[in-house]
Structure 1
Amino acid sequence: AINVTFLSFRTGFLGPKGKRIFLFFRGFLGSTAMVLLYYAYQVMPLADATVITFSSPVFTSLLAWIFLKEKYSLWDLLFTLFAITGVILIARPPFLFGSRDMGIEGSYTDHLKGTIAAIASTASAASTIVILRKVGKSVHYFLSIWYYAVIGLIGCVIALFVLNEWRLPQCGKDRVFLVLIGLLGLGGQVFLTKALQIEKAGPVSIVRTMDVVFAFILQILFLNHLPTWWTVGGALCVLASSIGTAIRKWRQSVKKAKQSEI
């Protein structure tokens, strides 16, 4: 509350004029990524959706090359191919694998919808990271979170009214879970935004790959669902791509920092 009050006096709730458009798209794309990810979690296994979202560094590198004029090399292309291979192993399209039920939980239609939603979420999240790097420290990170929360709230309220789903779950436990989703999701955004402001994107991306490990563990412990070997193979491909991209970007930034000191 103190931080928000301070921001209102310093820059207003809309932020600096030159940064408002970036903040708007940060909020819109960030909330869109979260909604799509939650949908993917509902219609496909937790580990599958989580692994797909970790192809985000590939999209980030590509978008950074386009909008931030960062270098995109053959290594980046190789990591992109690894990520695409991982996503294909998880999606398992019939025209490549010849069957719709190769270890897929539930219907293939839901699995495909979840895959598309997860990929769209990944692209939106990558766009958000590029925007955050573009804005940098010129905007307080709480203001970035403010846009994310407000735009996400407005969008969800409109969607709920349109879909006529404006009602609370009947079970009290589900209501608690609903509150926890909001709190933990917002907390994750706060820590991620702060991490990107005080540390290079490379180390942050490497640490975030632990999400995949936790997803596998939690899926087994609480959902009693063992991942298939296709998912494990896809996870290894995506993780190799993600970690490779992060390490390469990290080394480039360190090298550039050393050159600037000379």
Structure 2
Amino acid sequence: MANEQRRLLENDVESEETQDQHILPEEESLEHRFAGHSNLIGTAGAILAGITFTSANVIQKYTPNLNFWDLLFVRAVSQLTIIGGFSFWFGHNPIGPSGSRSRIYMQGILGGILLLCLFIAVKHIALGDASAIFFSAPFFTMLFSSCMLNEHFGLFRVAVSGIIITGVILLCRPPAIFPPESLPEATALPENDAIVNQQTLIGTCCALSVPVLSAIITILNRQCRHVPFLVLTFWFGVGALFVSFIGMNIPFLHSSNVYSGNIYNFTTTEWIYTSSIVALGIIGNIIMTIALKLITPARAMVFRSFEVIANYILQATLFSKVSVSFHITDPLGAFLIVMSVLLMGFEISIKKKYSWKYL
């Protein structure tokens, strides 16, 4: 049994080594440069990226007049301009190494779709519901990593996934599971109710797509960890621009007022909010891409779960337009999230100590 466990651990190491088959000589030094500290730096990067992402989500939620097509377009143009400029400055080949181009382009296109789904979900459903769905990403990342990266997906990772999801639900208290104590009287017209229900359905479907897309993108990024992070984030911007152009030219979206087309008429306040969301998103994208060069996608997504706690704190303090009530489940949810992060941090040590092939 001990030999079986050792074989599984060796397979995990070999799976990472096979990902380096296209590593360029000048890029090999990145992980070696941080040897001994890569775990710590990658963990800190994943947590920091999560905090920037959740900050952007909270700002968008409390700025309901912002249109998601406008946000996606501004984000794409900004990312292409900034990252493209730095890529040119450092002399990186924008099309990437020949052995990894399909993965680079795929993560870019999926990244654009992910941003759109994220913006739509945050706009149309309660932030608690959206957060609870988003943070099921560690489970999908672990599941897909077993197929795409040959990582072991045993009872330990199943348990960590369950603890995270339980903690997120207890802390976010999604209205779908914890209905509000008092509901406002219904005054809306039946036609408006139908529109709201349709938007909620669309928002929920988009929210369900977020953890799946996030898992696939993080794994693709890990497989391309030898590619300069500027190239990866550049193509993320290309994908976002491609998706925004398609959406802005679909007639039924215009007729249903989904696309406002008022980007040139933004007020100063709207530009400040938009710039904040875009800047936080780009910074988070860069930091997360770098973190995935140092730690595995499964570990990165678990460590990102800290952003749920940041989400709660931001709503309760800086963005308290709607008061966030304290519930007895809040500290329990935070405790479970922290516990899952600690367990994931000691995953290798635990598996070495308890040699069981199903662990």
TM over 0.5: yes
Instruction: Give the Cα separation in 1 of the matches to 2:152 and 2:315.
Output: 37
Taking a change above 3 Å as real, the CA distance of residues 231 and 220 of structure 1, as seen in their structure-2 partners, is same
Give the equivalent residue in structure 2 for 1:6.
90
Contact 1:82 1:240 in 2 (8 A): no
Contact 2:306 2:338 in 1 (8 A): no
Question: Quick one: higher RCO (CA 8 Å, sep 6+), 1 or 2?
Answer: 2
Give the equivalent residue in structure 1 for 2:262.
167
Cα deviation code 1:149-201 (max 9, x no counterpart): 11111211221222232322543311221122112111110011112213455
Letter in 2 for 1:152: A
Instruction: Give the Cα separation in 2 of the matches to 1:75 and 1:205.
Output: 15
Are 1:220 and 2:316 an aligned pair? yes
Indicate which of 137, 146, 150 corresponds to 2:238. Answer: 150
Instruction: Give the Cα separation in 1 of the matches to 2:285 and 2:349.
Output: 25
Deviation (angstroms), 1:15? 1.1
Taking a change above 3 Å as real, the CA distance of residues 226 and 68 of structure 1, as seen in their structure-2 partners, is same
Deviation (angstroms), 1:208? 2.5
Taking a change above 3 Å as real, the CA distance of residues 183 and 176 of structure 1, as seen in their structure-2 partners, is same
Hey, which of these two has a bigger chunk of helix by percent? 1
Identical positions, percent: 23
- How many residues get paired? 246
Give the equivalent residue in structure 1 for 2:147.
66
TM-score by length of 1: 0.75
Give the equivalent residue in structure 2 for 1:129.
218
Give the equivalent residue in structure 2 for 1:28.
109
Letter in 1 for 2:249: F
Deviation (angstroms), 1:58? 0.9
Taking a change above 3 Å as real, the CA distance of residues 225 and 45 of structure 1, as seen in their structure-2 partners, is farther
Contact 1:86 1:236 in 2 (8 A): yes
Give the equivalent residue in structure 2 for 1:53.
134
Cα deviation code 1:196-238 (max 9, x no counterpart): 2134556644542331122112212313231685984995598
Contact 1:136 1:197 in 2 (8 A): yes
Contact 1:29 1:128 in 2 (8 A): yes
| The 10-residue stretch of structure 1 (51-60 or 201-210) with the greater mean CA deviation from structure 2 | 201-210
Instruction: Give the Cα separation in 2 of the matches to 1:31 and 1:188.
Output: 15
Contact 1:4 1:142 in 2 (8 A): no
Are 1:77 and 2:77 an aligned pair? no
Instruction: Give the Cα separation in 1 of the matches to 2:241 and 2:311.
Output: 26
Contact 1:27 1:144 in 2 (8 A): yes
| The 10-residue stretch of structure 1 (126-135 or 46-55) with the greater mean CA deviation from structure 2 | 46-55
Taking a change above 3 Å as real, the CA distance of residues 25 and 82 of structure 1, as seen in their structure-2 partners, is same
Report matched runs for 1:181-220 at 5 Å. Answer: 181-199=277-295, 201=297, 204-205=300-301, 207-220=303-316
| The 10-residue stretch of structure 1 (21-30 or 235-244) with the greater mean CA deviation from structure 2 | 235-244
What is the SS of the residue equivalent to 1:226? coil
Taking a change above 3 Å as real, the CA distance of residues 152 and 167 of structure 1, as seen in their structure-2 partners, is same
The alignment's C-alpha RMSD in Å is: 3.7
Contact 1:50 1:211 in 2 (8 A): no
Report matched runs for 1:106-117 at 5 Å. Answer: 109=197, 113-117=202-206
Segments of structure 1 that go 5 or more residues without pairing to the other structure are 256-262
Give the equivalent residue in structure 1 for 2:344.
246
TM-score by length of 2: 0.57
Taking a change above 3 Å as real, the CA distance of residues 237 and 111 of structure 1, as seen in their structure-2 partners, is farther
Letter in 2 for 1:131: L
Instruction: Give the Cα separation in 1 of the matches to 2:169 and 2:100.
Output: 38
Contact 1:54 1:238 in 2 (8 A): no
Letter in 2 for 1:239: I
Between structure 1 and structure 2, the one with the greater Rg is: 2
